[in-house]
Structure 1
Amino acid sequence: MRHLLKKLLPSVAVALTVTSSSLPMPARAQTYPIDCAILLCLSGGWPASVPCARARAEFIRRITPWPVEPPLQIWRCPMGASYKTSPSSNSVDRIYEAFFQDNSTGPRQSYPAGGAATPIEAAWRTPEAPNDLVLADRALQLVQDRADIDISGPEFNFVRSIRVFDVRYARQHESGRDGDCNRSAIVVLGTYGTQGDFSWQRSSITALPEAHVGLERWGEHCPGIYHRSVFVDWRDYEGNYGFEQVNY
Protein backbone atom coordinates (compact mmCIF):
# COMPACT_ATOMS: atom_id res chain seq x y z
CA MET A 1 0.00 0.00 0.00
CA ARG A 2 2.73 2.49 0.98
CA HIS A 3 4.40 2.22 -2.41
CA LEU A 4 1.21 2.03 -4.47
CA LEU A 5 1.04 5.73 -5.33
CA LYS A 6 4.78 5.85 -6.00
CA LYS A 7 4.31 3.06 -8.53
CA LEU A 8 1.23 4.55 -10.16
CA LEU A 9 2.09 8.24 -10.32
CA PRO A 10 4.44 8.00 -13.35
CA SER A 11 1.45 6.62 -15.25
CA VAL A 12 -0.84 9.58 -14.57
CA ALA A 13 -0.49 10.88 -18.11
CA VAL A 14 -1.29 7.43 -19.51
CA ALA A 15 -4.32 7.12 -17.26
CA LEU A 16 -5.75 10.43 -18.38
CA THR A 17 -5.04 9.66 -22.03
CA VAL A 18 -6.87 6.32 -21.76
CA THR A 19 -9.83 8.06 -20.16
CA SER A 20 -9.85 10.68 -22.90
CA SER A 21 -9.72 8.16 -25.73
CA SER A 22 -12.95 6.54 -24.58
CA LEU A 23 -14.96 9.76 -24.81
CA PRO A 24 -16.71 11.35 -27.80
CA MET A 25 -14.72 14.12 -29.46
CA PRO A 26 -16.84 17.05 -28.13
CA ALA A 27 -16.38 15.82 -24.55
CA ARG A 28 -12.60 15.52 -24.58
CA ALA A 29 -12.07 19.08 -23.36
CA GLN A 30 -13.45 17.88 -19.98
CA THR A 31 -11.87 14.43 -19.83
CA TYR A 32 -11.24 14.32 -16.08
CA PRO A 33 -11.93 16.45 -13.00
CA ILE A 34 -8.90 18.68 -12.41
CA ASP A 35 -9.19 18.07 -8.67
CA CYS A 36 -8.63 14.34 -9.20
CA ALA A 37 -5.38 15.23 -10.95
CA ILE A 38 -4.44 17.67 -8.16
CA LEU A 39 -5.16 14.98 -5.56
CA LEU A 40 -3.08 12.33 -7.28
CA CYS A 41 -0.20 14.58 -8.36
CA LEU A 42 0.08 16.35 -5.01
CA SER A 43 0.27 13.03 -3.18
CA GLY A 44 3.28 12.04 -5.28
CA GLY A 45 5.17 15.33 -5.02
CA TRP A 46 4.07 16.69 -8.43
CA PRO A 47 5.83 14.20 -10.74
CA ALA A 48 6.86 15.50 -14.14
CA SER A 49 3.98 15.07 -16.60
CA VAL A 50 1.65 17.28 -18.62
CA PRO A 51 -1.43 16.45 -16.48
CA CYS A 52 0.48 17.19 -13.27
CA ALA A 53 1.84 20.46 -14.68
CA ARG A 54 -1.72 21.52 -15.48
CA ALA A 55 -2.92 20.39 -12.06
CA ARG A 56 -0.21 22.37 -10.29
CA ALA A 57 -0.98 25.47 -12.36
CA GLU A 58 -4.63 25.27 -11.25
CA PHE A 59 -3.54 24.60 -7.66
CA ILE A 60 -1.51 27.83 -7.70
CA ARG A 61 -4.16 29.81 -9.61
CA ARG A 62 -6.63 29.17 -6.81
CA ILE A 63 -4.42 30.90 -4.24
CA THR A 64 -3.74 33.85 -6.53
CA PRO A 65 -5.95 36.68 -5.25
CA TRP A 66 -8.70 37.50 -5.61
CA PRO A 67 -10.55 35.55 -4.24
CA VAL A 68 -8.39 32.97 -2.47
CA GLU A 69 -9.89 29.51 -3.00
CA PRO A 70 -9.11 26.14 -1.45
CA PRO A 71 -6.24 24.88 -3.65
CA LEU A 72 -7.58 21.32 -3.52
CA GLN A 73 -11.36 20.98 -3.76
CA ILE A 74 -11.60 17.28 -3.13
CA TRP A 75 -15.40 17.37 -3.20
CA ARG A 76 -15.11 17.98 -6.95
CA CYS A 77 -13.30 14.66 -7.46
CA PRO A 78 -15.85 11.81 -7.56
CA MET A 79 -14.10 8.80 -6.07
CA GLY A 80 -16.99 6.41 -6.30
CA ALA A 81 -18.94 6.54 -3.03
CA SER A 82 -21.25 8.92 -1.22
CA TYR A 83 -21.83 6.87 1.92
CA LYS A 84 -19.51 4.55 3.87
CA THR A 85 -20.35 2.39 6.87
CA SER A 86 -16.73 1.76 7.81
CA PRO A 87 -13.31 3.13 6.76
CA SER A 88 -12.10 1.66 3.50
CA SER A 89 -8.96 -0.45 3.70
CA ASN A 90 -8.12 0.44 0.13
CA SER A 91 -8.74 4.19 -0.03
CA VAL A 92 -5.54 4.93 -1.94
CA ASP A 93 -6.68 2.64 -4.75
CA ARG A 94 -9.81 4.78 -5.11
CA ILE A 95 -7.74 7.83 -6.02
CA TYR A 96 -6.34 6.00 -9.00
CA GLU A 97 -9.63 4.30 -9.87
CA ALA A 98 -11.32 7.70 -10.08
CA PHE A 99 -9.55 8.21 -13.40
CA PHE A 100 -10.97 5.02 -14.91
CA GLN A 101 -14.49 4.63 -13.55
CA ASP A 102 -17.38 4.89 -15.98
CA ASN A 103 -19.19 8.11 -15.09
CA SER A 104 -21.78 7.78 -17.86
CA THR A 105 -24.42 6.78 -15.31
CA GLY A 106 -23.13 9.02 -12.50
CA PRO A 107 -20.72 8.21 -9.70
CA ARG A 108 -21.08 4.84 -8.03
CA GLN A 109 -22.48 4.69 -4.51
CA SER A 110 -21.55 2.51 -1.59
CA TYR A 111 -24.27 1.96 0.98
CA PRO A 112 -25.10 -0.53 3.74
CA ALA A 113 -25.41 -4.14 2.68
CA GLY A 114 -28.49 -6.13 3.60
CA GLY A 115 -32.14 -5.16 3.70
CA ALA A 116 -33.93 -3.45 0.88
CA ALA A 117 -32.31 -0.05 1.21
CA THR A 118 -32.05 1.95 -1.98
CA PRO A 119 -29.10 4.28 -2.61
CA ILE A 120 -31.32 7.25 -1.73
CA GLU A 121 -32.47 5.67 1.53
CA ALA A 122 -28.88 4.82 2.39
CA ALA A 123 -27.84 8.42 1.86
CA TRP A 124 -30.47 9.49 4.40
CA ARG A 125 -29.18 7.14 7.07
CA THR A 126 -26.76 8.16 9.78
CA PRO A 127 -23.91 6.15 11.39
CA GLU A 128 -25.63 6.50 14.78
CA ALA A 129 -28.94 5.11 13.53
CA PRO A 130 -28.25 3.10 10.36
CA ASN A 131 -31.73 1.61 10.29
CA ASP A 132 -33.56 4.89 10.62
CA LEU A 133 -34.21 7.44 7.91
CA VAL A 134 -33.39 11.11 8.39
CA LEU A 135 -36.51 12.79 7.05
CA ALA A 136 -36.01 16.30 8.44
CA ASP A 137 -36.58 18.19 5.21
CA ARG A 138 -37.49 15.24 2.99
CA ALA A 139 -34.53 16.06 0.78
CA LEU A 140 -31.55 13.95 -0.20
CA GLN A 141 -28.53 15.04 1.85
CA LEU A 142 -25.74 15.07 -0.69
CA VAL A 143 -22.08 15.01 0.25
CA GLN A 144 -20.85 18.58 -0.14
CA ASP A 145 -17.56 20.32 0.59
CA ARG A 146 -15.81 17.10 1.58
CA ALA A 147 -14.64 13.86 -0.01
CA ASP A 148 -17.31 11.39 -1.12
CA ILE A 149 -15.40 8.47 0.41
CA ASP A 150 -13.91 7.99 3.85
CA ILE A 151 -10.44 9.56 3.76
CA SER A 152 -9.81 9.50 7.51
CA GLY A 153 -6.99 6.96 7.17
CA PRO A 154 -3.29 7.87 7.32
CA GLU A 155 -2.87 7.34 3.57
CA PHE A 156 -4.73 10.63 3.12
CA ASN A 157 -2.70 12.63 5.65
CA PHE A 158 -1.23 14.56 2.73
CA VAL A 159 -4.64 16.20 2.20
CA ARG A 160 -4.85 17.31 5.82
CA SER A 161 -1.26 18.58 5.70
CA ILE A 162 -2.19 21.40 3.30
CA ARG A 163 -2.15 24.85 4.93
CA VAL A 164 -3.08 28.12 3.26
CA PHE A 165 -1.81 31.32 4.93
CA ASP A 166 -3.50 34.43 3.57
CA VAL A 167 -1.53 37.47 4.70
CA ARG A 168 -4.19 40.02 3.81
CA TYR A 169 -1.87 42.76 4.93
CA ALA A 170 1.07 43.27 7.27
CA ARG A 171 2.29 46.79 7.94
CA GLN A 172 5.13 48.06 10.11
CA HIS A 173 6.24 51.71 10.32
CA GLU A 174 7.43 54.36 12.73
CA SER A 175 4.99 56.91 14.06
CA GLY A 176 5.87 60.41 12.88
CA ARG A 177 5.16 62.00 16.25
CA ASP A 178 6.76 59.92 18.94
CA GLY A 179 8.88 57.45 17.02
CA ASP A 180 6.89 54.45 18.25
CA CYS A 181 6.74 51.40 16.00
CA ASN A 182 3.25 50.73 14.71
CA ARG A 183 2.48 47.21 13.58
CA SER A 184 -0.77 45.77 12.29
CA ALA A 185 -1.61 42.64 10.35
CA ILE A 186 -4.45 40.38 9.30
CA VAL A 187 -3.52 36.75 8.67
CA VAL A 188 -5.99 33.91 8.16
CA LEU A 189 -5.18 30.22 7.94
CA GLY A 190 -7.07 27.72 5.80
CA THR A 191 -6.89 24.05 6.77
CA TYR A 192 -8.51 20.75 5.80
CA GLY A 193 -10.56 18.60 8.13
CA THR A 194 -10.72 14.83 8.48
CA GLN A 195 -12.84 14.35 5.35
CA GLY A 196 -11.23 17.06 3.26
CA ASP A 197 -13.56 19.87 4.34
CA PHE A 198 -11.89 23.30 4.19
CA SER A 199 -12.22 26.11 6.74
CA TRP A 200 -10.63 29.45 7.65
CA GLN A 201 -9.49 30.71 11.05
CA ARG A 202 -7.59 33.71 12.38
CA SER A 203 -3.83 33.34 12.55
CA SER A 204 -0.76 35.55 13.04
CA ILE A 205 2.58 36.57 11.57
CA THR A 206 4.41 34.36 14.07
CA ALA A 207 2.58 31.29 12.77
CA LEU A 208 3.97 31.69 9.24
CA PRO A 209 6.31 28.86 8.15
CA GLU A 210 10.04 29.52 7.88
CA ALA A 211 9.83 29.16 4.11
CA HIS A 212 7.64 32.27 3.85
CA VAL A 213 9.57 35.33 2.62
CA GLY A 214 8.90 39.04 2.97
CA LEU A 215 8.47 39.48 6.70
CA GLU A 216 11.88 38.46 7.99
CA ARG A 217 12.45 41.91 9.56
CA TRP A 218 9.08 42.02 11.25
CA GLY A 219 9.56 42.98 14.89
CA GLU A 220 13.22 44.00 14.46
CA HIS A 221 13.63 47.71 15.28
CA CYS A 222 11.13 49.28 12.91
CA PRO A 223 11.98 49.04 9.21
CA GLY A 224 9.11 50.06 6.96
CA ILE A 225 7.21 47.00 5.76
CA TYR A 226 4.04 46.58 3.75
CA HIS A 227 3.39 43.02 2.68
CA ARG A 228 0.55 40.93 1.21
CA SER A 229 0.86 37.32 0.14
CA VAL A 230 -0.74 33.89 0.04
CA PHE A 231 1.45 30.99 1.14
CA VAL A 232 0.48 27.33 0.82
CA ASP A 233 2.50 24.38 2.06
CA TRP A 234 1.97 20.63 2.30
CA ARG A 235 3.65 17.27 2.73
CA ASP A 236 3.22 14.62 0.07
CA TYR A 237 2.42 10.94 0.62
CA GLU A 238 6.04 10.22 1.55
CA GLY A 239 6.26 13.18 3.93
CA ASN A 240 8.32 15.45 1.67
CA TYR A 241 7.75 19.18 2.23
CA GLY A 242 6.60 21.54 -0.52
CA PHE A 243 5.31 25.10 -0.70
CA GLU A 244 4.27 27.94 -3.01
CA GLN A 245 4.01 31.68 -2.34
CA VAL A 246 2.14 34.32 -4.32
CA ASN A 247 2.78 37.98 -3.47
CA TYR A 248 0.32 40.72 -4.35
Structure 2
Amino acid sequence: MERLEAIKRSSANPIPELPSDDTTEPLLVDVAISTEAIQAFHGQSGDSFQATPISVDLSSPDFDVVRSIRVWDVRHYSYRRHSREGDCERSLDLVVGSYGDHASFQWSDHAPAPIPAWLPLGNRCEPPSYFRGVGVEWTDTFGFSDYELIRY
Protein backbone atom coordinates (compact mmCIF):
# COMPACT_ATOMS: atom_id res chain seq x y z
CA MET A 1 0.00 0.00 0.00
CA GLU A 2 2.89 2.37 0.73
CA ARG A 3 4.16 1.91 -2.83
CA LEU A 4 0.70 2.61 -4.27
CA GLU A 5 0.36 5.72 -2.13
CA ALA A 6 3.77 6.94 -3.36
CA ILE A 7 2.67 6.44 -6.97
CA LYS A 8 -0.55 8.31 -6.28
CA ARG A 9 1.31 11.26 -4.70
CA SER A 10 3.76 11.56 -7.61
CA SER A 11 1.15 11.13 -10.36
CA ALA A 12 0.06 14.12 -12.45
CA ASN A 13 -3.49 12.71 -12.37
CA PRO A 14 -4.23 11.50 -8.82
CA ILE A 15 -6.04 8.21 -8.52
CA PRO A 16 -9.47 8.55 -6.90
CA GLU A 17 -9.86 7.23 -3.38
CA LEU A 18 -11.23 3.73 -3.04
CA PRO A 19 -14.38 3.33 -0.96
CA SER A 20 -13.56 2.49 2.63
CA ASP A 21 -16.92 0.90 3.43
CA ASP A 22 -16.25 -2.84 3.75
CA THR A 23 -19.96 -3.66 3.53
CA THR A 24 -20.23 -2.55 -0.09
CA GLU A 25 -20.88 -5.58 -2.28
CA PRO A 26 -19.14 -5.62 -5.65
CA LEU A 27 -21.45 -5.22 -8.62
CA LEU A 28 -21.00 -7.92 -11.25
CA VAL A 29 -22.28 -7.22 -14.75
CA ASP A 30 -22.47 -9.69 -17.63
CA VAL A 31 -21.94 -8.01 -20.97
CA ALA A 32 -22.24 -9.50 -24.41
CA ILE A 33 -22.27 -7.82 -27.80
CA SER A 34 -22.94 -9.34 -31.18
CA THR A 35 -21.00 -8.72 -34.36
CA GLU A 36 -24.20 -7.35 -35.87
CA ALA A 37 -24.45 -4.74 -33.10
CA ILE A 38 -20.85 -3.65 -33.67
CA GLN A 39 -21.45 -3.44 -37.42
CA ALA A 40 -24.62 -1.39 -36.89
CA PHE A 41 -22.77 0.98 -34.55
CA HIS A 42 -20.10 1.57 -37.20
CA GLY A 43 -22.64 1.74 -40.04
CA GLN A 44 -21.02 -1.18 -41.84
CA SER A 45 -22.34 -4.58 -42.76
CA GLY A 46 -21.31 -7.96 -44.10
CA ASP A 47 -17.74 -8.76 -45.05
CA SER A 48 -16.77 -5.10 -45.38
CA PHE A 49 -16.73 -4.61 -41.59
CA GLN A 50 -13.46 -3.26 -40.19
CA ALA A 51 -12.93 -2.25 -36.59
CA THR A 52 -12.06 1.38 -35.99
CA PRO A 53 -8.59 1.62 -34.44
CA ILE A 54 -8.47 3.20 -31.01
CA SER A 55 -5.87 5.88 -30.49
CA VAL A 56 -4.36 6.03 -27.02
CA ASP A 57 -2.12 8.94 -26.08
CA LEU A 58 0.82 7.74 -23.98
CA SER A 59 2.86 10.93 -24.30
CA SER A 60 2.29 12.18 -20.73
CA PRO A 61 4.89 11.44 -18.04
CA ASP A 62 2.39 9.09 -16.36
CA PHE A 63 3.13 6.58 -19.12
CA ASP A 64 6.93 6.68 -18.95
CA VAL A 65 6.79 3.10 -17.66
CA VAL A 66 5.10 1.87 -20.85
CA ARG A 67 7.46 3.80 -23.12
CA SER A 68 10.46 2.42 -21.20
CA ILE A 69 9.64 -1.19 -22.17
CA ARG A 70 12.12 -2.73 -24.61
CA VAL A 71 11.86 -6.28 -25.98
CA TRP A 72 15.18 -7.68 -27.20
CA ASP A 73 14.59 -10.66 -29.53
CA VAL A 74 17.90 -12.39 -30.23
CA ARG A 75 16.93 -14.74 -33.04
CA HIS A 76 20.49 -15.98 -33.51
CA TYR A 77 23.87 -15.09 -32.05
CA SER A 78 27.17 -16.88 -32.48
CA TYR A 79 30.78 -15.99 -31.96
CA ARG A 80 33.07 -18.70 -33.22
CA ARG A 81 36.01 -19.69 -35.35
CA HIS A 82 34.97 -21.26 -38.69
CA SER A 83 38.30 -22.95 -39.29
CA ARG A 84 41.18 -24.02 -37.07
CA GLU A 85 43.41 -21.11 -38.12
CA GLY A 86 40.67 -18.62 -39.01
CA ASP A 87 39.55 -15.43 -37.30
CA CYS A 88 36.65 -15.30 -34.91
CA GLU A 89 33.40 -14.44 -36.65
CA ARG A 90 30.35 -12.85 -35.06
CA SER A 91 26.84 -13.45 -36.37
CA LEU A 92 23.90 -11.56 -34.84
CA ASP A 93 20.22 -11.44 -35.81
CA LEU A 94 18.56 -9.09 -33.31
CA VAL A 95 15.39 -6.99 -33.34
CA VAL A 96 14.20 -4.61 -30.63
CA GLY A 97 10.57 -3.79 -29.90
CA SER A 98 9.28 -0.68 -28.14
CA TYR A 99 6.10 1.34 -27.59
CA GLY A 100 5.50 4.74 -29.14
CA ASP A 101 3.46 7.69 -27.83
CA HIS A 102 0.21 6.25 -29.20
CA ALA A 103 0.48 2.70 -27.76
CA SER A 104 1.84 1.34 -31.02
CA PHE A 105 4.35 -1.47 -30.61
CA GLN A 106 6.99 -1.67 -33.30
CA TRP A 107 10.00 -3.82 -34.09
CA SER A 108 13.28 -2.38 -35.33
CA ASP A 109 16.54 -3.95 -36.40
CA HIS A 110 18.32 -0.87 -35.06
CA ALA A 111 18.77 -0.91 -31.29
CA PRO A 112 17.73 2.36 -29.58
CA ALA A 113 20.70 2.04 -27.24
CA PRO A 114 23.76 -0.16 -26.82
CA ILE A 115 23.00 -3.84 -26.32
CA PRO A 116 22.44 -4.27 -22.57
CA ALA A 117 25.06 -6.07 -20.50
CA TRP A 118 22.45 -8.53 -19.20
CA LEU A 119 22.14 -10.12 -22.66
CA PRO A 120 24.66 -13.01 -22.59
CA LEU A 121 26.34 -12.39 -25.92
CA GLY A 122 29.79 -13.79 -25.29
CA ASN A 123 32.79 -12.77 -27.35
CA ARG A 124 35.16 -15.72 -27.01
CA CYS A 125 35.99 -18.18 -29.75
CA GLU A 126 37.12 -20.87 -27.30
CA PRO A 127 34.65 -22.18 -26.38
CA PRO A 128 32.30 -20.79 -29.03
CA SER A 129 29.41 -18.61 -27.84
CA TYR A 130 25.84 -19.26 -28.95
CA PHE A 131 22.60 -17.68 -27.77
CA ARG A 132 18.90 -17.44 -28.66
CA GLY A 133 16.35 -15.78 -26.44
CA VAL A 134 14.05 -12.89 -25.63
CA GLY A 135 14.67 -10.27 -22.98
CA VAL A 136 12.30 -7.61 -21.73
CA GLU A 137 13.57 -4.57 -19.85
CA TRP A 138 11.72 -1.68 -18.23
CA THR A 139 12.05 1.17 -15.76
CA ASP A 140 9.39 1.38 -13.04
CA THR A 141 7.70 4.48 -11.65
CA PHE A 142 10.47 4.89 -9.07
CA GLY A 143 13.23 4.87 -11.69
CA PHE A 144 14.46 1.33 -10.98
CA SER A 145 15.33 -0.70 -14.06
CA ASP A 146 14.89 -4.44 -14.31
CA TYR A 147 14.70 -7.18 -16.94
CA GLU A 148 13.51 -10.71 -17.57
CA LEU A 149 15.40 -13.08 -19.88
CA ILE A 150 14.09 -16.26 -21.52
CA ARG A 151 16.52 -18.56 -23.36
CA TYR A 152 15.26 -20.92 -26.01
- 2:7 matched to which residue of 1? 3
- Provide the aligned C-alpha RMSD in A: 3.7
- 1:155 matched to which residue of 2? 62
Higher share in strand:
2
Tell whether the 8 Å contact from 2:71 to 2:136 is kept in structure 1 after alignment: yes
| 2:101 is equivalent to residue 173 of structure 1 | no
TM-score (norm 1): 0.42
| 2:52 is equivalent to residue 142 of structure 1 | yes
Q: How does 1:223-234 map to 2 (within 5 A)?
A: 223-234=127-138
Higher share in helix:
1
Displacement, 1:239?
1.5
| 2:80 is equivalent to residue 194 of structure 1 | no
- Secondary structure (helix, strand or coil) at the match of 2:97 reads strand
Gaps of 5+ in 2: 19-23, 34-40, 43-48
Displacement, 1:185?
1.2
Over residues 126-153 of structure 1, what are the superposed CA-to-partner deviations in whole Å (9 max), with x where a residue is unaligned? Answer: xxxxxxxxxxxxx887225xxx442211
Runs of at least 4 residues off by over 4 Å:
5-8
- Secondary structure (helix, strand or coil) at the match of 1:238 reads coil
Larger Rg: 2
Identity of aligned residues (%): 31
Displacement, 1:223?
3.2
- 2:27 matched to which residue of 1? 22
Separation of aligned partners in 2, 1:2 and 1:105: 37
Residue type at the aligned position of 1:155: D
Greater relative contact order structure (CA < 8 Å, 6+ sep): 2
How many corresponding residue pairs? 126
Gaps of 5+ in 1: 12-17, 28-103, 107-118, 121-138
- 2:46 matched to which residue of 1? none
- 2:90 matched to which residue of 1? 183
- Secondary structure (helix, strand or coil) at the match of 2:93 reads strand
